Amino acid sequence: MLQIVLIRPGSTDYDRQERIQGTLDIPLDKQGTSEVAQLVDELRDTGIETVYAPECQPAEQTARTVAKSLGVKFKKLDRMQNLDHGLWQGMLVEDVRQKQPKVYRLWQEHPETVCPPEGETLSKADSRIRTAVTKLVKRHKQGVIGLVVPEPLATLVRRFVRHDELGNLWKVSAEHGPWEILAVEPNEVLQHSS
């Protein structure tokens, strides 16, 4: 059995301001750096062998710090860049709610039916996630790996591995905390990826 330690990156100024980050490359802020230091202490006894992250500043900074502190390898992971929120990127969540109330409500209740203007659908991101996670599972059929990805990608990973519901994508990181362990049965994941 494989265990994926699903880790959310430390926070950025955009997180504190409740802005939609999407694919914007925003570095960790002072609080985010402190969060990662605390995260390292929490992850010390998990047995992580390798830490993976996409090329995005908060995830990569978090993953590199975790890997270095735990004395394990860091590897970049293709196809795991954050969801492209198009023209919503940089906007306050509250601004989207006020300016586009119907779309905002749909995003909360049925996010799979919404594509941010000039952005990416969840189904397209979901396809990328499935490919990347399947590749990881083929490479690591057992052991413990760390996977640092931002929301909503962490939710898509969880949904693929555990068949969870999407839930409210605006609030998921607060609901699930900075990290969690997903027990993965490789054969089951590989079966669902086809």
pLDDT over 80 (residue 169): no
Number of domains in the chain: 1
Give the CA distances from residue 63 to residues 96, 175, 189, in Å, rounded to whole numbers and listed in that order.
Answer: 31, 21, 24
Domain of 100, CATH number, reads 3.40.50.1240
pLDDT category of residue 193 using cuts at 50, 70 and 90: low
pLDDT over 60 (residue 194): no
Give the pLDDT confidence score for residue 76 in this predicted structure: 95
pLDDT over 90 (residue 166): no
Give the pLDDT confidence score for residue 118 in this predicted structure: 94
For residues 93 and 151, is the Cβ–Cβ distance under 8 A? Answer: no
- Segment 122-145, tens digit of pLDDT: 999 999 999 999 999 999 999 999
**Mean of pLDDT values over 158-183:** 75
pLDDT over 50 (residue 175): no
**Cis before 152? omega within 30:** yes
The pTM score is: 0.91
Give the pLDDT confidence score for residue 162 in this predicted structure: 86
Averaged pLDDT score across all residues of the chain:
90
| Residue with the larger pLDDT of the pair 89 and 165 | 89
Give the pLDDT confidence score for residue 176 in this predicted structure: 47
Residues of the domain holding 11: 2-193
Tokens 């802005």 sit on residue: 19
Give the pLDDT confidence score for residue 177 in this predicted structure: 61
Mapped onto helix, strand or coil, the DSSP state of residue 24 is coil
**Rounded-to-integer distance, Cα 57 and Cα 106, Å:** 29
**Mean of pLDDT values over 15-39:** 93
Give the pLDDT confidence score for residue 172 in this predicted structure: 58
**Rounded-to-integer distance, Cα 155 and Cα 136, Å:** 17
